[in-house]
Amino acid sequence: MKARTAALTVAAVCFLGAQVAFAQSPFMGTWKLNEAKSKLGAGAPKNTTVTYEAAGDDMKVTVEGTDSMGNPTHTEWTGKFDGKEYPVTGSSTADMRSYHRISSHTISFTETKGGKVTTIGHIAVSADGKSRIVTTTATDSKGKKVHSTSVYDKQ
């Protein structure tokens, strides 16, 4: 009985530790696209709202926006910023995504579909935590590279 109580206590502490670590992350919260400051490549999707939230000891990233044809999109990804691939749902261009933490305010990401890289990117949150810049290079359906720089404001 003592071993079970100890195990449950350790699990609870680990869970709360993950929650505190996420709460202190500058990525957490909701970000809105600032179109006036952004430079979206021709035919690039437009991610208008991005939300980072804790999901147990994982991070959940939800993205609302429009695809290259202007149709609404909603994607979700849950995983860790550990460089490993985790499934992404709702995307026509990716079925897996990985994030790699570079520093406390910077991460990189890669999206793949069927094992083939479709998008690479870099995300940097400002020192004051009020804005973030996302630079991406994606390959469109015709094999052309599309570069974008998206600026987001913290909500």
Q: What pLDDT does 143 receive?
A: 87
pLDDT over 50 (residue 7): no
Closest to 31 (Cα-Cα) out of 93, 120, 124: 124
Helix (H) or strand (E) holding 125: strand 116-125
pLDDT over 70 (residue 4): no
**What is the mean predicted confidence (pLDDT) over 101-123?**
97
How far is it, in rounded angstroms, from Cα 69 to Cα 41? 13
Give percent above pLDDT 70 in the chain. Answer: 85
What pTM does this model have? 0.83
Which of the four pLDDT bands, split at 50, 70 and 90, describes residue 23?
A: low
pLDDT over 60 (residue 49): yes
CB 153 within 8 A of CB 136: no
Nearest-5° Cα angle at 78, 147 to 72: 55
